[in-house]
Amino acid sequence: MSTEVKEKNTKKNKSEFLDIERLIPRLINSWPLYIVSILIALAIAFYFNNWKLNKIYSANTTFKIKDNNSSNNNLASNSINFIWGGNANKIDGLSYTLTSRMHNEKVVKKAESYIFYYEEGRFKKSDIYKLDAPFHVHIDTLYQQIANVEIKVKPKDNRSFYFEVENNNGSLYNFSKDSIVKSDVINLPKVGYYNQWIIGKNYKLKLTRSNLPFTTNTFSFKLVPIQVATSRATRNFNVSNPSKISSIIAVSKNAESLNEAVDILNNSIKVLIENELAERNLSAFQTRKYLQGRIATVKLKLDSATDQLQELQKRTGVYNFDTKKSEILSNLSELDKQRIQIQEKISALYRLMPKKSSSVDNLIALNIAGLDVTYYMSNVDKLDGLENQKIQMLKVYKANADEIKDIEQKIEKTRSDISNIVNAHLEKLNTDLSAVNSKLSETEFKAKDLPYEEIEFVEANRGFDLNSNLYSTLINQLNTTDLSLASIVSDITIIDPAKNQNQGSIYPNTRNNYLVALGIGFIIPFVLIIIKELLDFKVKVVKDITSRTNIPVLGLVGPLGDNSPLVVINNPKSGLSESFRSIRSNLKFLYKSSALNENNKTILVTSFIGGEGKTFNAMNIASTIGSMDKKTVLIGLDLRKPKIFDDFNINNKIGVTDFVAGDIELNKIVQHTILPNLDIITAGPIPPNPSELILSERMEQLFSELKNIYDYIIIDSPPIGLVTDSYDLMKFADCTLYVTRYNYSEKNFINTISNKYDEGEISNVGIIFNDFQIKSGYGYGYGYGYGYGYGYGYFSEDEAFDNSTLGKIKRLFQRIKEKLF
C-alpha cells in the first residue's frame, strides 16, 4: 500500500466516537424536550414538596445550669453535682436524661401527647398535634380506655359534634400499669357534647374546643399507649453545648408539627426542672428527717437528765457551786460537747459511700462530717469520667489491651485519692477525739477530789449540760435545713424557651429539591439525546460522510415532499431543481483525467442499497443536463429492478436487455421525452442473467454507439452493496456519483466504495447527499442551493410559505410534535 493511500485511510479512520458538531445542534434543537422534561421534573418536585413528603419542623430552647464551684458545703448548693454527676458530665448527663424513657413518659403525661391527631386532606393524611386541631381530647387516666382506634370528629354545631368510627376493634389499655389488658370493641355515641365527659363501658373522654375552626378537611384522633407516645416524643432530640461556656445547654427537637416540637420541648425542660427540684428537695427532706430523729432521741435523754438533776437538787438542797467547782463542771460540759461532735463526724464518714456519688446519704454524711464537698466531688467527677471513658474504650479495645490497663490504673488511682481524702479527714478527727478524751480524763480526775455528794451533783449537771448543748446544736442545724429547704430554687434557668414563630420547615428542602429536579429535568433529555446519538448509525450531516471518506461531496438534494420525481421538468423553479443545477455545475470538478471519449461524458449513478434515491437523482441530473443544448441519454441498467419508465410516462417493453441479446437495433430501444435533448433507454424485460449481459460484448457495443450519438450518457446502475454490476459498469463511465440518503443510509455504507477509492480501484467519484433536511439541528452550514430561501420569495415553494404569526406558531408546534413523537 502506498504512502498516499495510508494517509487517506488514516484520515478516514479519524471519525469521532461522538461527533460534537453533530451532537450540539441536536441538543440545541431539542429545546422542546428539555422544557417538557424540566416541567415534569418540577411538577414531581412540587408534588413531593407539598404532598408526598412530610414536612419536618425544628424548635430550639436554651438554658443554663448554675455553676457550683465554690467551697460552700451547703446541701442545696451542691445537689446539682449529685443529680447529674457534677459539672464535668452535664452534657452527657442531660442528653441521656432528656432522651430517657422515664423522663419522656413524664413529658408525655404532662403534655397529654398520648393522643395522636390526624388531618385528612384532599391528597394525603397527615399527623398533626393537638395545638393544630380544632378540638382537644382529654381522657381519665384512672379509667381503662380503648386504645389504637381512630375516631373521626365532625362538627354538628357550636355545642356538639359527630363521632365516626370505621373500625371499632381496639385494645383495652390500663394507664396506671401501661399495659394492654385485652382486645375490645368501642361503641361510642353518634353525637357528643363539648366540655362534657362521655362515659361508656371502656372509655371516658371529654372534648373541648380550641381556637382553631373546623376546615373542610377531616379530623380524627387516636389514643395510643404511653410507650408508643414516648417513642414519638424521644425521636430527633439533640442536646449540645453551643459555646465554650459549659453551663449553657442547647436542646432542639424535630417533629412533623412545629407546635408539637415546641410543646414537647418546653414540657421536657419543665419536667427536667421539676425532677431536679424534687431531687434537691428529697436531699433536704432526708437531712431534715435525720435531724428530727436525732433531736427526738436527744430530747428523751435531755428530759431524763433534767428530771435527774432537779430531783438531786431537791434532795441535797445544792443549787450552786463555788468558782472552782463551776469551772470543773464547765470544762467537763465543753469537752463532752466537743467529743460528741467529733464522734458524730466520724460516724458520718463511716456511712459515706464513695462509689455512689448521687447518694442522698452521701450529702448528709459530707455535711455532718464537715468534709470539703467541692474538693471531694471533683475527685468523684473525675472517677465517673474515667469509668465512662473506659466503657467507650471497651467498644474499641479488648479488655486486656494496654489502653484499657492504663485507664484502669487511672481509675484505681482516683479511687485511692478519694479514699485518701476520707482517711485523712478521719485520721484528723480521730486525733482531735484523742486530744479531747485526754483533756476530759484530766478534768474527770480533778473532779474525783470532790466529796461524793458533790461528784454526784457534778455528774448529773454534766449529763444535763451535755444533752442540752447537743439538743441546741441539732435544733440550729434543723433550722438551717428548713431555711435552706425554703430557699431552694432550680439550678436550671431557661434563657430562650421554644417558641412557634412560624418557622419554615427544615425538611424537605424545597429549594434543593427544585434545583435537583431542574438538574434531572435537564440531564435526562441530555443523556437520552447522547444515547440516541450514539445508537444512531444513520447519515444526518455532511460530516458523517466527510469524516469517513476522502471522496468529495458533490451536492445536497433536499426532500421530495409532494413533488413529482421529475422535479426539474415539472417544477424548474423549485429549490430541488436548483440543487440539481448545482450538481451539474460541480460535475466538471470530477473530470480530473481525460475523458473516455473526447466528445461526450458518461456519468454512472449508484448507491449502496435500494431506496437511497439513485434513480431519482439520475433522472433529474439527466433532466437538468438535457434542458441545455447538450444531447443526453438516460439509460437504465438496473436490470434486476427497472424503474425510470413510469415517471417519464414511457413503457419498458423493450430496452437494454433486448439490444444486448442481439434481437434489436439501438434506435429501436431509444425513447424520447418532452425535453428535445433528453432520450431514455429503459432496462427492458428482466433477464435471467443480468451480470453476464453487462459483461457481454454487446454491452460494450451499446456504449460505443451511444458515445457517438450523445454528449452525455447518464447510467442508472444497481446498488453496489447488493450486486457487483455497478463496478463492472464503471469502466464505461467518466465519473461515478454515489448517492447516500439522509436518515436512511447508514454511516458505514460509505466504506465499501471509499475503500475502493482509497485503493485506487476507482476514481472520479463524487457523493450526493440525498433527502438532506435541516431539522433536528442537522445540516447547518451546508446549503448548496437548498434550504436557504424558504420564506423569502426565492423559490416557487415560497409562494405557499406562511410567514404570519399564526404560521410561526403552527411551525413551532410542529417542531415540538417532531421532537416528542
> Which tens digit of pLDDT belongs to each residue from 95-141?
788 888 889 999 999 999 999 999 998 878 889 999 999 999 999 99
Cβ–Cβ < 8 Å for 600, 711: yes
Higher-confidence position of 816 and 477: 477
> Which tens digit of pLDDT belongs to each residue from 722-731?
888 889 999 9
Give the per-residue pLDDT at 784: 35
> Which tens digit of pLDDT belongs to each residue from 198-230?
999 999 999 999 999 998 899 999 999 999 999
Higher-confidence position of 312 and 532: 532
Give the per-residue pLDDT at 631: 94
- What are the start-end ranges of the E strands in 165-275? 169-174, 179-185, 191-193, 198-200, 203-209, 218-223, 237-240, 248-255
The pLDDT-based confidence of 195 (bands split at 50, 70, 90) is very high
Helix (H, G, I), strand (E, B) or coil at 725: helix
Other beta carbons less than 10 A from residue 463's beta carbon: 19
Of 93-107, 164-178, 439-453, 534-548, the poorest mean pLDDT is in: 439-453
Distance of CA 294 to the CA centre of its chain: 66
Higher-confidence position of 448 and 239: 239
Give the per-residue pLDDT at 221: 96
Say whether the peptide bond before residue 676 is cis (omega within 30 degrees of 0).
no
C-alpha span between 168 and 171 (Å, rounded): 10
* Nearest residue to 90 (alpha-carbon basis) of 240, 283, 238: 240
DSSP state for residue 590 in the 8-state scheme:
G
**Consecutive H or E run containing 789:** none
> Which tens digit of pLDDT belongs to each residue from 428-480?
778 877 887 787 777 666 665 555 555 566 666 666 776 777 777 778 877 87
Give the per-residue pLDDT at 106: 92
* Nearest residue to 344 (alpha-carbon basis) of 433, 444, 437: 433
Arithmetic mean of pLDDT, 144-165: 94
* Nearest residue to 600 (alpha-carbon basis) of 476, 483, 690, 709: 709
Instruction: Give the CA distances from residue 407 to residues 293, 385, 388, 398, in Å, rounded to whole numbers and listed in that order.
Output: 43, 11, 10, 13
> Which tens digit of pLDDT belongs to each residue from 487-507?
667 778 888 999 999 888 888
Give the per-residue pLDDT at 790: 42
Q: What is the 3-state secondary structure (H, E, C) of 488-522?
A: CCCCEEEEECCCCCCCCCCECCHHHHHHHHHHHHH
Given a cut of 50, whether residue 80 has pLDDT beyond it is no
Arithmetic mean of pLDDT, 740-763: 91
DSSP state for residue 4 in the 8-state scheme:
H
> Which residues contact residue 219 at a Cβ distance below 8 angstroms, ignoring those fewer than 6 apart?
117, 118, 119, 120, 133, 134, 135, 152, 153
**Consecutive H or E run containing 118:** strand 115-120
Other beta carbons less than 10 A from residue 469's beta carbon: 19
C-alpha span between 599 and 76 (Å, rounded): 127
Q: What is the mean pLDDT of the chain?
A: 80
C-alpha span between 332 and 442 (Å, rounded): 10
Cβ–Cβ < 8 Å for 152, 163: yes
Buried b (16+ CB within 10 A) or exposed e, 626-657: bbeeebbbbbbbbbeebbbbebbeeebebbbb
For 657, half-sphere exposure in the C-beta direction (CA atoms, 13 angstrom radius) is 18
Buried b (16+ CB within 10 A) or exposed e, 399-410: eeeeebeebeee
Give the per-residue pLDDT at 787: 36
Of 303-312, 534-543, 673-682, the poorest mean pLDDT is in: 303-312
Given a cut of 70, whether residue 786 has pLDDT beyond it is no
Q: Please name the residue ranges forming H helices in 247-322.
A: 258-316
Residue 468 buriedness (CB in 10 A; 0-12 / 13-18 / 19+):
middle
Give the per-residue pLDDT at 267: 94
Q: Tell me the whole-structure pTM to 2 decimals.
A: 0.59
